[in-house]
Chains A and B, each alone.
Chain A
């Protein structure tokens, strides 16, 4: 019965315990869970409408060249940021900041490529042409919004005065924001597969 009470009595005072510094990361996991559910619903809508109206994904598969470039840009940025995270964990903060800056630049590059991708698709397909167009731009548009938020978070982290051990929240900003960036990158892999690659394979594969 009193095993817990004994543990507390035997251990030293609670004031000497370490600071809980992972709550930002837990909160980010919750953000990721709910945002992933949002994209699941978007993909669900895509398959639902595509399932009842089989024509649209088959007829006009989206062009792939920009999408490939965007995929490469994001994957490079993710590995770069992962490297930066390791530098920060080993207290090499300037290398971490450099990785962050390069990630931001790659993110901006992704937005530029997305602009060209939209510009080329808008010649034949608009959000107003049909339900496929509406969904195509809604899903990728939601992803663009997430990338913009990701770039802003990375920029905020870049401006933070210090990354090391601190008694001031946020405790692990670099790791928390990096987690979000990996998530939006993973989202792009899903979008690339579902919206871009698979329809092309179905037609030309």
Chain B
């Protein structure tokens, strides 16, 4: 939810930046060219105003996965739930006021740099609240060593390393030193792979049985985790050292005799090891699809509502719209689907129940979209519209615009059979 809000406000900045860029390159305008009174730094401003909130668009769902998976396999509710929720929201909001930390070397006022440095460090406070909550959950719980739990715990360790190098780069003098070096490459991969890809793998081992109905092999999963974990650290940790030694990023080669060879060799070996680890999980998936153990409704003895349905779930979810009274619907005494008079059945059409925001009282019935190709075709014609501008084909652009509008009208036109009551 928060992620969608962040996308809504951050993506237009990239739109503006890309439109300016295309106009400059293909149509001869002067947004970024210094000769025409433009400024290339404008590109950086617009790009990073999108780019940094986007980091949290990727990162926050991953923390959400850890916050769901760690308590299940610690067999207790998460520690400090309200603090975890609040820090997630604050990360998303403060994430809009840190973008200049990508540009400390561009040159700006001390005031601007201090503000954005402080903002960047504030993020680490919100993140560490979550990290301590996860660690405390494991500490106070009775951990179950599943493959999903391995990935979740591994990602916490990697997030701490990536987060600490992030604090370093948030400090302006250190940033000036390591800017554009492999140190930054190490940092981004620790947060992107360590704190995003590993939670996704945890989610993969945790939710795939729900999606396919078949379990993954736990032993192979743990092997895959250890190979990935060792490969990842061997591949990316040395980059911190390479960066501090002065190896620049975005340059694919370097002179012999600078002392980078052996460390880079380790990086290459680590990267291939990481690849082998990922391959093990892909093999695991293929084996599971063919001959995996049947999962049943709730193989993990989990608390989440989704585990009350069959694996894989029916397209309509549940017959009786479930009622939820605690945060752990499957761990409490309440029967979510108890509905003796069939009061909570909506089977006339594609319908679902909406509730009030705060008290979750049943409020109204919402119709769900019908199956239609119109949105797909619309995005194709819209793509043709923008591509036509890049290639100076104005008539094609006009035709694509008309087609987009016509498809939109067709899609939205009121017709019987569109989710009627």
Determine, out of A29-37, A92-100, A113-121, the stretch whose residues face the partner at the interface: A29-37
Chain B CB within 8 A of A90 CB: no
Q: Contact check, A33 vs B8: say whether CB atoms are below 8 A apart.
A: yes
Q: Contact check, B346 vs A15: say whether CB atoms are below 8 A apart.
A: yes
- Chain B contacts of A167 at CB under 8 A? 420-421
Question: Which residues in A have some Cβ–Cβ distance to B below 8 Å?
Answer: 1-5, 7-9, 11-15, 17-20, 23, 30, 33-35, 37-38, 40-42, 44-45, 48-49, 52-53, 56, 127-135, 138, 152, 156, 160-161, 166-170, 173
Of A4, A56, A168, the residue contacting B414 (CB under 8 A) is A168
User: CA–CA, A53 to B173, complex, Å?
Assistant: 29
Of B28, B341, B409, the residue contacting A128 (CB under 8 A) is B28
Interface set, chain B 1-23, CB cutoff 8 A to A: 8-13, 15-17, 19-20, 23
Question: Which residues in B have some Cβ–Cβ distance to A below 8 Å?
Answer: 8-13, 15-17, 19-20, 23-24, 27-31, 33, 36-39, 42, 45-46, 49, 321, 323-326, 332, 334, 338, 341-346, 348, 353-354, 360-367, 405, 408-409, 412, 414-416, 418-421
- Chain A contacts of B332 at CB under 8 A? 1
Q: Contact check, B409 vs A34: say whether CB atoms are below 8 A apart.
A: no
- Chain B contacts of A130 at CB under 8 A? 30, 36-38
User: CA–CA, A11 to B415, complex, Å?
Assistant: 32
Nearest-CB residue, chain B, relative to A152: B405
Of B39, B324, B409, B418, the residue contacting A48 (CB under 8 A) is B39
Q: Which 9 A-B pairs have the closest CB atoms?
A: A38-B12, A134-B29, A168-B414, A131-B38, A131-B37, A20-B366, A20-B364, A41-B16, A37-B12
- Chain B contacts of A52 at CB under 8 A? 39
Nearest-CB residue, chain A, relative to B340: A9
Q: Contact check, A18 vs B365: say whether CB atoms are below 8 A apart.
A: yes
Nearest-CB residue, chain B, relative to A50: B37
- Chain B contacts of A38 at CB under 8 A? 12-13, 15-16
The distance from the CB of A149 to the nearest CB of chain B, in whole angstroms, is 8
Q: Contact check, B39 vs A131: say whether CB atoms are below 8 A apart.
A: yes
User: CA–CA, A15 to B349, complex, Å?
Assistant: 11
User: CA–CA, A18 to B362, complex, Å?
Assistant: 10
User: CA–CA, A168 to B418, complex, Å?
Assistant: 7
User: CA–CA, A61 to B322, complex, Å?
Assistant: 63
- Of the A-B pairs whose beta carbons lie under 8 Å apart in the complex, a sample of 17, sorted by A's number, is A2-B334, A5-B323, A13-B342, A14-B343, A14-B353, A15-B345, A20-B363, A41-B15, A41-B46, A49-B37, A49-B42, A56-B37, A127-B27, A128-B36, A130-B36, A134-B38, A167-B420
Q: Contact check, A34 vs B39: say whether CB atoms are below 8 A apart.
A: no
- Chain A contacts of B323 at CB under 8 A? 4-5, 8
Of B33, B49, B324, B346, the residue contacting A14 (CB under 8 A) is B346
Nearest-CB residue, chain A, relative to B420: A167
Q: Contact check, B11 vs A169: say whether CB atoms are below 8 A apart.
A: no
Q: Contact check, A37 vs B30: say whether CB atoms are below 8 A apart.
A: no
Q: Contact check, A138 vs B49: say whether CB atoms are below 8 A apart.
A: no
- Chain A contacts of B37 at CB under 8 A? 49, 53, 56, 130-132
Known: A8-B343, A128-B29. 13 other contacts (CB 8 A): A1-B326, A5-B325, A13-B341, A17-B365, A18-B365, A30-B8, A37-B11, A127-B23, A130-B38, A138-B20, A161-B414, A169-B414, A169-B419
- Chain B contacts of A15 at CB under 8 A? 345-346, 348, 365
Q: Contact check, A33 vs B416: say whether CB atoms are below 8 A apart.
A: no
Of A23, A35, A129, the residue contacting B366 (CB under 8 A) is A23
- Chain B contacts of A4 at CB under 8 A? 323-325, 360
Nearest-CB residue, chain B, relative to A53: B37
The distance from the CB of B369 to the nearest CB of chain A, in whole angstroms, is 9
Q: Contact check, A37 vs B353: say whether CB atoms are below 8 A apart.
A: no
User: CA–CA, A34 to B12, complex, Å?
Assistant: 6
Q: Contact check, B11 vs A17: say whether CB atoms are below 8 A apart.
A: no
- Chain B contacts of A34 at CB under 8 A? 8-9, 11-12
Q: Contact check, B19 vs A138: say whether CB atoms are below 8 A apart.
A: yes
User: CA–CA, A38 to B12, complex, Å?
Assistant: 5
- Chain B contacts of A9 at CB under 8 A? 343
Of B325, B338, B360, B415, the residue contacting A168 (CB under 8 A) is B415
The distance from the CB of B404 to the nearest CB of chain A, in whole angstroms, is 10
